[in-house]
Amino acid sequence: MSSRKILTIVHQEHSTTGRVGELLIARGYELDRSCPNIGDRLPSSLDDHAGAVIFGGPMSANDEHLPGIRTELDWLRVALDANRPVLGICLGAQLIARALGARVGPHPDGLVEIGYYEVRPTPQGQPLFDRPTMFYQWHGDCFDLPDGAAHLAESDACPHQAFRYDGQVFGIEFHPEMTRAMVERWTTSPNAAPKMSLPGAQPQAAHLDGYERYAAESDRWLDRFLDRLLPGEPPT
C-alpha cells in the first residue's frame, strides 16, 4: 500500500505549511513535519513517504554555517535519489538548486520580489502553467537553472521562477501556500518593514489587496499542480 505520509521540511519553529498542507491533508495524506534548524532529524530515506515538500524561510541557501542548512544540503541527495515527488518552495527550491550545483545569490541589480508578481510560463512550462499567474513572493536571492533541469516559468525580475529536474523534482520561487493570516503575519513581523522598502518590494497594503485579488487563482494552480505532483488516487 502506498505511503500516507508527506515529509514537510520547514525552517522555523512556528512555520506553517499553509494551503499546501491543507490541500495535502484534504487528499488524505499525513504531514510528517521536520525542522532541522531546531534540531529535528531528517529520514535516512524516503521509503516510508509518498514525497517531500521543502518550504521557505528567512535564511539563505548559502548559509552553510547554520547547522540546519548544512544538514539539508547534505541530505538533499537522499531526496533527489529517492524516486519520489519532491517540491521545493522559495528557499526549498534554492537549496535543491544548490544541491544540483547551480548558483544561488542576489539579483545583480539588487532587486527583490516581495508581494504579488506575474509569473509566466516558458514553452517547456506551458503544460504546468497554462497562463500567466500572479503569485506571492518573498525573496532576495534567486537560483540559476541547474544543469539538466527544464525551465518552466519566469518573471520580470527573476528569470528562473520554476524548474523540473529528473521528472518529479520541482523547484518554484513563489509561494502558493499563502493564507491571508500568513500574509498578515509576514508583513507585520519585526523584520518586515526594512525588507518592504527594498527595490522592487511592495508596501503591505498591496500585499493584502493582492491576496484578495489573486489568492483564488493561486489556489487553482496549486490544486492542479498537486494533482500532477502526486498522481493517482489519494491514500485511504
The CATH number of 5-229 is 3.40.50.880
Q: Given a cut of 90, is residue 189 above it in pLDDT? A: yes
- Using only C-alpha atoms, the chain has a radius of gyration, in whole angstroms, of 17
Q: Given a cut of 90, is residue 161 above it in pLDDT? A: yes
CA atoms within 13 A on the CB side of 112: 16
- pLDDT class of 1 with cuts at 50, 70, 90: very low
Q: Given a cut of 60, is residue 206 above it in pLDDT? A: yes
Query: How high is the pLDDT of residue 131?
Result: 94
Write the pLDDT tens digit of every residue in 122-158. 999 999 999 999 999 999 999 999 999 999 999 999 9
Cα separations (Å) of 17 from 14, 184, 187, 203? Answer: 10, 15, 17, 24
Q: Given a cut of 90, is residue 232 above it in pLDDT? A: no
According to the 3-state scheme, what is the secondary structure of 135-185?
Answer: EEEEECEEECCCCCCEEEEECCCCCCCEEEECCCEEEECCCCCCCHHHHHH
Bridge partner list, 226: none
Mean pLDDT of 82-97: 97
Q: Residue 121: what residue type? A: P
Task: Name which of 125, 134, 82, 95 is nearest 9 in CA terms.
Answer: 95
Task: Name which of 218, 140, 128 is nearest 164 in CA terms.
Answer: 128
* Three cell numbers written together for 16: 506553517
Query: Over pLDDT 90: what percentage of the chain?
Result: 94
Query: How high is the pLDDT of residue 3?
Result: 80
CA atoms within 13 A on the CB side of 218: 24
Phi, psi of 139 (to 5 degrees): -155, 150
Query: How high is the pLDDT of residue 236?
Result: 45
Mean pLDDT of 18-42: 97
According to the 3-state scheme, what is the secondary structure of 61-115?
Answer: CCCCCCHHHHHHHHHHHHHHCCCCCEEEECHHHHHHHHHCCCCEEECCCCCCEEE
Q: Given a cut of 60, is residue 233 above it in pLDDT? A: no
Mean pLDDT of 28-51: 96
- pTM metric for this prediction: 0.96
**Active-site annotation, residues:** 90, 175, 177
Q: Would you tell me how many other CB atoms lie within 10 Å of the CB of residue 84?
A: 21
